[in-house]
């Protein structure tokens, strides 16, 4: 295959003539030389091959006798054929040959055909070069559009890129009212040109209908010359809308997705007609498609960012509200418990018979309210309650403190707690106050959901977890009402309460297990729960011995 090269452009007057007939070879070479060509000749296949290897010619004159064995691409070839012979002219296209003449053609006519061939080849190179420039320019426009999530920046990249790449006077783009994209508009003007209006105004609805019609047909409205071309409603409407004294040539391109247009691009040439080539239209439509996709994606991302911002604001408002409520609840609760203690100490005189039991009810409900306030305070604090105060902690001692504090509640419900003192102690690296909160929530839950006469057993022991990591496991098993199987996966969700707890009117906030789960996770451990409805629940707490 013989191809053109960059050297071809600097050798626009170089020609190779390959003709076996010596006399015709000489006369043809003489005519081309007189026309200003630098001529190299070949009378056989070997000489032709040598000439082609040494020289990148602007044109090749080739007799059919020497044509076999070559494929021509880029270099224009004028084939010299004997029409008296049975030569298949269809072979010219497969060989890549541009034109042919008869061997009887006058040499002056041959020279003219050579000039025509070179001119056509030059024009093809120019068109290819311009098309490649446009393709590369609009490829950069698409890349710029995809490189941002800002719809307005996408629009600015589009109009500027089209204006500079196509060399037009105005490029204007707007979106229509649509939930899929934001309302934006952008325009680019050649320096010295007056800007177009910012919006379509009263013409928008008509423009939307006509743009949707174009979109449905996968068409654009390209007007070569507004002075001679038959007007269309869209072309006339845009001219009347823009207020320019004259628009000589224009192209309207719908930007759409699905069944409707999202917007419209209008590109204008003011002073002269313009033939909008297929390549230009195809590239414009391609970039418009990229714009539609990016606008929708950018709008979704912007909406998600906005929702995230609003959620953060709501979360902050929730945190501030809970912190305020906790503060306001703590003050009266402190007074209640303080006066209750004073009454029990005899500050108001002897307590009448029967009042002591009432005071026990007040005390239990005060403790319940205090725990609820502490749980709400934990929820209100960000990042799961602040930093952990880590130190060596005796796990058994934590459990004994928890059981001692909750035993009066268990006794009041005739629930037996066993096992907290039955094992050797295990030391772990943890936050003692937070662990106490974890086990208080778990054991209090077990007491609350275990009926009178029920049992709660507590066990703890060292164990080896995955990859040999030493840890301790604490299990709290009760003989309570259990949890429906389909609801077990939700019990660690804040404010979630099992259906049987709600239906039985068992009091609670749905925070205890969720807070315990968060604290255990922050210690690098895990909290698991198994339950059988009507038979009881077991909560297992795994804690690394080395801390988080």
Please spell the DSSP secondary structure of 106-161, one letter per residue: -HHHHHHHHHHHHHHHHHHHHHHHHHHHHHHHHHHHHHHHHT---HHHHHHHHHHH
- In tens digits, what is the pLDDT along the chain, a chain of 548 residues? 334 343 443 446 788 888 888 888 888 888 888 888 888 888 888 888 888 777 677 788 888 888 766 666 667 888 888 776 766 666 666 666 778 888 877 778 888 888 888 777 777 777 677 777 777 888 888 888 988 888 999 999 999 999 998 999 999 999 999 888 999 999 999 998 989 998 999 899 999 999 999 999 999 999 999 888 876 889 889 988 988 888 999 999 999 998 889 999 999 999 999 999 888 899 999 999 999 999 988 888 877 888 888 888 887 787 777 777 776 777 788 788 888 888 888 787 888 877 887 887 788 778 778 777 777 666 665 444 457 888 998 888 899 888 888 888 888 889 999 887 766 678 888 989 889 889 988 998 899 889 888 999 998 887 766 566 788 899 999 998 888 888 888 888 877 777 766 554 456 667 788 888 988 998 889 999 999 888 899 999 999 887 55
Residues of the chain with CATH 3.30.565.10: 392-544
Q: How confident is the model at residue 76, as a pLDDT?
A: 82
CA distance 341 to 217: 85
H-helix or E-strand spanning residue 105: none
Cα-Cα-Cα-Cα dihedral sign, residues 499, 503, 509, 515: negative
Q: Tell me the CATH architecture of domain 392-544.
A: 2-Layer Sandwich (3.30)
In this structure, whether the domain defined by 134-299 belongs to CATH 3.40.190.10 is answered with: no
Report field, pTM of the whole predicted structure over 0.85: no
- In sequence order, the β-bridge partners of residue 526 are 542
Q: How confident is the model at residue 158, as a pLDDT?
A: 94
CA distance 492 to 510: 9
Residues of the chain with CATH 3.30.450.40: 134-299
The CA-CA-CA angle for residues 412, 415, 420, to 5°, reads 115
CA distance 112 to 114: 5
Query: E-strand spans in 258-358?
Result: 260-269
Q: How confident is the model at residue 94, as a pLDDT?
A: 62
CA distance 419 to 460: 9
Q: Could you give the dihedral angle defined by the CA atoms of residues 238, 239, 242 and 248, in that order, rounded to the nearest 10 degrees?
A: 120
Q: How confident is the model at residue 467, as a pLDDT?
A: 62
Distance of CA 469 to the CA centre of its chain: 39
CA distance 328 to 323: 9
Of 491, 481, 494, 480, the residue nearest 527 (C-alpha): 491
Residues of the chain with CATH 3.40.50.2300: 2-129
CA distance 159 to 153: 10
H-helix or E-strand spanning residue 304: helix 278-344
CA distance 471 to 391: 16
Q: How confident is the model at residue 205, as a pLDDT?
A: 92
249 contact partners, CB below 8 Å, separation of at least 6: 223, 224, 225, 226, 268, 269, 272, 273, 274, 276
In this structure, whether the domain defined by 2-129 belongs to CATH 2.60.40.10 is answered with: no
User: HEC states along 46-103?
Assistant: HHHHHHHHHCCCCEEEEEHHHCCCCCEECCCEEEEECCCCCCCCCHHHHHCCCEEEEC
């Amino acid at each position: 295959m013989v191809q053109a090269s960059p050297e071809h452009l600097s050798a626009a007057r170089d020609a190779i003539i390959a003709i076996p007939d010596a006399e015709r070879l000489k006369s043809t070479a003489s005519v081309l030389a007189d026309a200003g060509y630098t001529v190299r000749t070949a009378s056989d296949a070997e000489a032709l091959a040598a000439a082609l290897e040494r020289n990148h010619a602007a044109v090749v004159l080739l007799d059919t006798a020497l044509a076999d064995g070559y494929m021509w691409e880029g270099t224009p070839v004028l084939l010299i054929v004997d029409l008296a012979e049975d030569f298949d002219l269809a072979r010219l296209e497969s060989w890549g040959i541009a034109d042919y003449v008869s061997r009887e053609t006058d040499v002056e006519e041959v020279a003219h055909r050579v000039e025509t061939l070179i001119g056509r080849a030059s024009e093809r190179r120019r068109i290819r070069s311009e098309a490649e420039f446009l393709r590369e320019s609009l490829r950069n426009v698409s890349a710029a559009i995809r490189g941002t999530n800002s719809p307005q920046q996408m629009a600015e990249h589009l109009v500027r890129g089209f204006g500079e790449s196509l060399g037009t006077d105005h490029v204007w783009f707007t979106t229509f009212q649509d939930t899929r994209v934001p309302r934006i508009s952008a325009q680019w003007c050649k320096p010295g040109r007056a800007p177009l209006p910012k919006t379509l105004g009263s013409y928008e609805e008509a423009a939307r209908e006509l743009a949707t019609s174009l979109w449905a047909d996968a068409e654009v409205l390209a007007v070569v010359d507004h002075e001679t071309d038959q007007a269309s409603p869209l072309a006339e409407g845009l001219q009347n809308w823009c207020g320019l004294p004259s628009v000589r040539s224009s192209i309207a391109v719908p930007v759409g997705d699905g069944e409707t247009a999202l917007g419209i691009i209008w590109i204008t040439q003011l002073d002269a007609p313009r033939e909008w080539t297929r390549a230009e239209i195809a590239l414009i439509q391609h970039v418009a498609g990229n714009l539609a996709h990016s606008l929708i994606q950018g709008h979704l991302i912007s909406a998600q960012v906005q929702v995230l911002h609003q959620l953060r604001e709501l979360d902050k408002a929730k945190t501030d509200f809970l912190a305020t409520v906790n503060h306001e609840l703590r003050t009266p609760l402190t007074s209640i418990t303080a006066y209750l203690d004073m009454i029990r100490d005899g500050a108001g005189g002897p307590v009448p018979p029967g009042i002591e039991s009432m005071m026990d009810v007040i005390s239990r409900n005060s403790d319940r309210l205090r725990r609820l306030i502490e749980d709400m305070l934990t929820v209100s604090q960000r990042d799961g309650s602040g930093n952990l105060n880590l130190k060596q902690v005796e796990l058994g001692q934590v459990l004994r403190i928890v059981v001692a504090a909750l035993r009066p509640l268990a006794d009041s419900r005739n629930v037996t707690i066993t096992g907290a003192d039955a094992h050797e102690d295990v030391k772990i690296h943890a936050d003692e106050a937070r662990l106490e909160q974890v086990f208080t929530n778990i054991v209090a839950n077990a007491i609350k959901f275990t009926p009178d006469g029920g049992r709660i057993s507590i066990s703890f022991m060292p164990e080896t977890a995955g990859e040999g990591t030493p840890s301790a496991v604490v299990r709290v098993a009760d003989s309570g009402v259990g949890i429906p199987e389909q609801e077990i996966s939700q019990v660690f969700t804040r404010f979630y309460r099992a259906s049987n707890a709600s239906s039985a009117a068992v009091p609670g906030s749905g925070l205890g297990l969720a807070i315990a789960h968060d604290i255990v996770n922050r210690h690098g451990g895990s909290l698991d729960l198994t339950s059988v409805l009507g038979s009881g629940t077991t909560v297992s707490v795994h804690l690394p011995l080395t801390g988080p």
